[in-house]
Amino acid sequence: MDLNQVKQLLHQPRLIISGPCSAETREQIMGVGRALHATGRVHIFRAGIWKPRTRPGSFEGLGEKALPWLTELRQETGLPVTIEIARSQQVETALKYDIDFLWIGARTSVNPFSVQELADSLEGVQKPVFIKNPLNADIDLWTGAVERIRKSGIENIALIHRGFSRFGALKYRNEPLWSLVVEMRRRFPELPILCDPSHIAGNRNLLLEVSQKSLDLGYHGLMIETHPVPDEAWSDAQQQITPEQLVKLLDALSWRKEFTDKEEFNTALSELRSRIDAVDAEILELLAQRMRLADEIGENKKRNNITILQAKRWEEINERALAKCDTLNLSKRFIEDYFKAIHAESILHQNAVMNPKEDLEKNKRMI
Ligand code: PEP
Ligand code: MN
């Protein structure tokens, strides 16, 4: 593929990547690949060649042996192919077979050493790279992975959101934490973002709701695992679906647009938005007012030698706010987070009042 085609594909609206979790046999790859190609809905074929399994003893992938099957499938169908790479030697092997797209998995993007190793081995090679979010909910690590790959000169990058791992039973195999990804997209508005509902859900029955949610948030595409006989898959059996089920899933989704030319809609939207802007301005003004009051309390406490933190008072404020959540249609979690942030800011303010910079400087000199 030339670079223009790569760029176009990466920015393809409603980009669909599909294929099995792992390459198992030539028949499996050719069978599922041909079926996916025949649907006319899939843009890139995926298959795991080296599988970074959490525990040893699980199927760890066939390695290089499976790569000729991918090139054969590409040759026959014209479908570009993508595999996961985690080590420099795997990059070399992928390049030998001219694999079209590479992806960095969650167990690799979590480790700056590994990402740097990949970045070094990708230097001077213009291969497009998908970067999955790291296992843990730390978007600085994800950001760092993007920066490292970019520094190696790779221009064509897209993000894949596959959820965050967590201890304990969950509805989903990995927690989506959608709001973290919103922040990641704010940091990299130019990068396409795909959702991997297979690894978020961990269960094929939940693929539709996770996929729809990502489309509601304006994601550009999906990576979904498919297998000829999902229940017999050598890895991630519960979350894989057949190519026919993939078509049904895609048909059931509503893809939303980010913009429209419809004037009526645009006028109503900008009217509502200017009201929101006015409310935001008011909220900021009120917050400043609240902090000025906190400063005043700080002055008083300082004069009377009283502690900044008074747990009981804080509990009362919290409880009063939480009691109103239902009537105001605000979630408890939001109000808790909001008041935690207010509290932290008030403490900072009072701290600044009690220990002005000059005092701190003076103390330091005395020590
Ligand atoms: C995969 O895509 O099969 C995979 C191993 O993904 P992740 O890195 O998201 O766990
Ligand atoms: Mn998988």
Which pLDDT score, from 0 to 100, does residue 360 have? Answer: 64
Note whether residue 258 is domain-resident: no
How far is 60 from 98, CA to CA, in rounded Å? 22
Let me know whether 243 and 273 are in one domain: no
Q: Does ligand 1 lie within 6 Å of residue 173's CB atom?
A: no
Asked if the model's pLDDT at residue 172 lies above 90, the reply is: yes
Q: Is 251 helix (H, G, I), strand (E, B) or coil?
A: helix
Note whether residue 244 is domain-resident: yes
Q: Is 263 helix (H, G, I), strand (E, B) or coil?
A: helix
Query: Structure tokens of 284?
Result: 């900021």
Q: Which of 199, 225, 226, 235 to mutate to test the pocket of ligand 1 (most atoms within 8 A of CB)?
A: 199
Which pLDDT score, from 0 to 100, does residue 357 have? Answer: 77
Which pLDDT score, from 0 to 100, does residue 313 have? Answer: 87
Banded pLDDT at 314 (limits 50, 70, 90):
confident
Residue-wise pLDDT tens digits, 216-262: 999 999 999 999 999 999 999 999 999 999 999 999 999 988 889 99
Question: What number is the average pLDDT over the span 52-76?
Answer: 94
Let me know whether 140 and 268 are in one domain: no
Collect residues with CB below 5 Å from ion ligand 2. 21, 236
Q: Does ligand 1 lie within 6 Å of residue 46's CB atom?
A: no
Let me know whether 26 and 141 are in one domain: yes
Let me know whether 228 and 291 are in one domain: no
Which pLDDT score, from 0 to 100, does residue 231 have? Answer: 98
Which pLDDT score, from 0 to 100, does residue 358 have? Answer: 67
What value, to the nearest 5°, has the Cα angle with vertex 221 and ends 26 and 126? 70
Amino acid identity of residue 287, one-letter, is L
Q: Which of 252, 272, 302 is the last residue of a domain?
A: 252
Residue in 179, 171, 117 with CA at minimum distance from that of residue 149: 117
Q: Does ligand 1 lie within 6 Å of residue 32's CB atom?
A: no
> 263 CB contacts (<8 Å, ≥6 apart)?
none
Let me know whether 205 and 274 are in one domain: no
pTM: 0.81
Let me know whether 42 and 171 are in one domain: yes
Amino acid identity of residue 234, one-letter, is W
Q: Which of 219, 252, 285 is the last residue of a domain?
A: 252
Q: Domain tally for the chain?
A: 2
Instruction: Tell me which ligand sits closest to the C-alpha of residue 174.
Output: 1
Rounded to the nearest angstrom, the gap between the alpha carbon of residue 192 and the centroid of all alpha carbons in its chain is 11
Domain containing 276 equals: 263-366
Asked if the model's pLDDT at residue 54 lies above 90, the reply is: no
Give 324 Cα–ligand 2 centroid separation in angstroms: 43
